[in-house]
Amino acid sequence: MESEQIDLLINEVIKRLETEGLISSQMQKNSARSTESNPGDKSKDPNQSFNINSGMGLQTISIDLDDPTKPVHRGKPLVDNSQDPEALLALMSTTTARIGVGRAGVRPKTESLLLFQSDFAVSQDALYKEVSQDLLKRMGLFTVNTLITEGKTEYLLRPDLGRSLSQEAKSILESKCIKNPNIQICVGDGLSASAIEANLEKIFPVLQSGCQIAGLSMGTSFFIQNCRVGVMNDIGDIIEPEVLILLIGERPGLGRADSMSAYMAYRPQKGHSDADREVICNIFDNGGTNPLEAGAYAIRLAQDMIKNKGSGVKMKMA
């Protein structure tokens, strides 16, 4: 990726969005993660109280703990007698990985073990969430379905059905969508609705004005419920865009479900596989590729695909 060109494009897009009032200059700097999908970063107050009143006879106990998932607690270094405690903090600040955790013998400390288990407990919720109708309405997206008819459990076990549009969906697309655009943008829940909720409003305007600036026509965007990446072929067969961009929720990680991908393909069609596609992944604020940058990069990549008349590793090898 040629980063200078991307920076240029981002700046141009952002300036334009600001003048159009589509985003506030706040937004580009503030990439705060949605508090919903990130448990406990509401307050920075580390006040933690832990009182044990033990008398001689009757004992009363009162355990009243602060939320251990708050960033102040998460970011606490736990290495005993570190050679360089300051440097340890600096190392920890460079990554979302759980380092600086120390050890209890060859096992983790109690605090980090229990934090891990707490994060695990909330991780699965994202799978069963649906993208909010409000958001879709705000973004002006209508919804179509895949062959999944029995909800998320079926979705998880039948990826084959998630790769095909339903008959109804096909006819809706036939009637509602502009054919042969330069760029077709679609949104799918994939394995995380939260990822779409966290990033869509940020990336979408960048994609729109990116297209405008680059002089590329944009098709009619829509939302696909219960979809897999492979659904791109069906969409391609009906709409025949030059480049299709599918924004889709990645599988949720531990205690985090806001990571989105943009899968892209040049003239997607029946028979295409992942070797014909490319992906921009780990799109999220605070630690991932931020959605504004990702949007600009996607447009660049689309321009390359159009220039090269192809996409995927197949292109690289040719």
Which parts of this chain interact with another protein (CB under 8 A)? 1, 79-85, 87-88, 91-92, 94-103, 106-108, 112, 116-117, 119-120, 123-124, 126-127, 156-160, 191, 250-254, 256, 259, 273-275, 281-282, 284, 287-289, 312-314, 316-317
Q: How many residues bind ligand B12 (CB under 6 A)?
A: 18
Residue 1 sits in the site that holds ligand B12 (CB under 6 A): no
Q: Which is nearer to ligand B12, 38 or 259 (CB)?
A: 259
Among positions 190, 205, 219, 241, the unique one binding ligand B12 when judged by CB under 6 A: 190
**CA quadruple 249, 252, 255, 260: dihedral sign:** negative
Q: Where are the beta strands (DSSP E) in the chain?
A: 49-54, 59-64, 142-145, 183-188, 222-225, 243-249, 260-266, 277-283
Give me the least distance between CB of 189 and ligand B12, in Å please: 8
- 10 Å CB burial of residue 18 (0-12, 13-18, 19+) is middle
Token pair recorded at residue 277: 């596609």
252 binds, among ligand B12, another protein, none (CB under 5 to 8 A by kind): another protein
Q: Which does 40 bind (CB under 5 to 8 A by kind): ligand B12, another protein, none?
A: none
Q: Is residue 230 a contact residue for ligand B12 (CB under 6 A)?
A: yes
* Contact call for residues 255 and 278 (beta carbons, < 8 A): no
Under 8 Å between Cβ of 265 and 184: no
312 neighbors 275 (Cβ within 8 angstroms): yes
Q: Which of residues 121-160 bind ligand B12 (CB under 6 A)?
A: 159
* 87 interface partner picked from ligand B12, another protein, none, CB below 5 to 8 A per type: another protein
